[in-house]
Amino acid sequence: MPTPDFRPEAGGKFHPVDYQLKHHVASWAAIKANPRIWGAFVWLMFDCGSDNRREGARDGLNDKGLVAFDHKTVKPAYEFYRREWNRPAAASARMTVVATNDFQAAIDAVAAAGGGTVRVPPGDYVTGGVWLKSHVTLELSEGARLVSNGDLATYANRRAMVYAENAEDVALVGRGEVCGSGERFPARDNAPDRPFDVLFRTCRDFRIEGVRLTDSAAWTCSLRDCVRGVVRGVKIFSHANLNNDGLDIEASDLLVEACDIDADDDALCFKSNSPQFVGRNVRVRNCRLASNCNAIKFGTASYGAWRDVVIEDCEVRPCAVSRWRAWHAKRIPGGVPDVPQGLGGIVLEVVDGGVLEDVTVRGITMEGVQTPIVVRLAARHEPSAGRATRLENVLIENVTGSCLSRIASSVTGVAGGKRPRGITLRNVDLTMPGGATEAMDFRRHVAEAERAYPENRMFGHILPAWGLYLRHADDVRLENVTLRLAAADARPDAVVASDVTGLSMERCAFP
């Protein structure tokens, strides 16, 4: 886990949570290594008021707590202790090794009786995957943890800790936890044989509420070809392996609200793996999203169609940890800081022949990302015969935030006909770091990169504009857009447009 190689001043204003984590990891190692210590305590649980303090980000606050002043936001050190003190390998009085078929027998019995609830009492249960059935609710009591046994052969359909397929009126609820023990599976990008924490396939009238999903071996929670569902109050913390997406959505008539997602890969990702898929009527609201890749993302895959999606009133923030990415070590002109960070905040991509239209993203605050907004229509894969790929009628509004890299936001298509259309940015206020120099070669030709993997750096690590780059697009509207620089920048233009028709700019400011 990368941690800062400097020591912040105790009385200074910069108190990074990663350094707090580093301190606690070292302290706990010393305590464990000394058998003469009979008792120890952690100082302190919550940030608290302290009138005489003038250090840290806020005066009058003792910020050494494991949990923030709101008594809700947990810091990385809290997650460290929670895992360190609840390790499955450390047998304890509350640890129960359960044969997977015992769990499955309870679910099957309730299903055979016409439906009902299987309640799991507090305790740690080491098990394989289970298969939920129609009209069955799996309720994890507070303090109940389903912990993966690391044996894929004991997984339902070899796919997930909690799996459901072709089920209706099915639910996973409660205040307990599903822990995927992702560190026990191969840690390679796109490695096979790595199960999800939760996978619902072709399910109807489903619910996932209140539970905590942690340490998946692959994607954490995936909804595939589902309809009429609710995902509410779910907490995801997944950094145990690569490809740790938070919530992957391929569903219609879905409400996602009040979720807290901290994932190494994309936090909230809308996918369409089949050209026949059409997703519509999805609402996401009041979520907190953290990713070391992209916070809000459409694609990849993007073979099918997405219509009528609204994502609103969400907070994008840095992840608590970054075990795999080390973006600061990449060859980025001017560099980025050695802190957890995402690649993109709002990333809308259609590159596999699909369709994205009538999408609204609004009320977003963001920090800790390299690039705030990326809209991309391209042809990594060609569309099915007789079908035209398109990305149109997108509204991004009421967005504020800052970014860490010199890779500007962008709206781009490719020469020859693939052109985003009807893209509106309204009431957007973003601060860029600045600092570009002539030596960074920002005047170079920008390649089309039509078949490149779509992400903020697909054109390289710097663009001609310091704020927004537009190319091969139609009917782009900027309304009340403010772009700022935190430091001087050699690039002369905040906005650069090339081959853009119908560009309008109203009440825009680039101070």
| The residue to which tokens 């795999």 are assigned | 324
> What's the pLDDT score for residue 83?
60
pLDDT in tens, 123-179: 888 899 999 999 999 999 999 999 999 999 999 788 999 999 999 999 999 999 999
Residue 219, classed as helix, strand or coil, is coil
390 Cβ contact partners less than 8 Å away, ≥ 6 residues apart:
350, 355, 356, 357, 377, 421
**Rounded average pLDDT over 464-471:** 98
Terminal C-alpha separation, the chain: 38
Percent of the chain with pLDDT over 70: 87
Distance from C-alpha of 274 to C-alpha of 302, rounded to nearest angstrom: 8
Distance from C-alpha of 179 to C-alpha of 214, rounded to nearest angstrom: 5
Q: Is the pLDDT of residue 403 over 60?
A: yes
pLDDT in tens, 438-455: 999 999 999 999 999 999
pLDDT in tens, 165-187: 999 999 999 999 999 999 999 99
Q: Is the pLDDT of residue 38 over 60?
A: no
**Rounded average pLDDT over 91-120:** 77
CB atoms within 10 A of CB 84: 14
- Residue 29 — very low, low, confident or very high, per pLDDT cuts 50/70/90? low
φ and ψ of 186, to 5 deg? -55, 130
Tell me the pTM: 0.82
87 to each of 6, 92, 149, how far by Cα in Å?
A: 30, 9, 12
Distance from C-alpha of 349 to C-alpha of 266, rounded to nearest angstrom: 13
Burial class (CB in 10 A: 0-12, 13-18, 19+), 507: exposed
* Closest to 403 in 3D by CA, of 280, 487, 320: 487
pLDDT in tens, 268-302: 999 999 999 999 999 999 999 999 999 999 998 99
* Closest to 468 in 3D by CA, of 254, 133, 477: 477
Q: Is the pLDDT of residue 340 over 50?
A: yes
DSSP letter assigned to residue 273: -
- DSSP secondary structure of 144-166: EEEEE-S-GGGSBTTTEEEEEES
- DSSP secondary structure of 339-352: S--EEEEEEEEE-S
Distance from C-alpha of 140 to C-alpha of 124, rounded to nearest angstrom: 11
Contact assessment for residue 225 and residue 202, using Cβ atoms and an 8 Å cutoff: yes
Domains of the chain, each with CATH number or no CATH: 17-84 (no CATH), 92-265 (2.160.20.10), 299-511 (no CATH)
Two structure tokens written together for 348: 């809308």
Task: Work out the mean pLDDT of the chain and round it to a whole number.
Answer: 89
pLDDT in tens, 318-338: 999 999 888 887 767 668 888
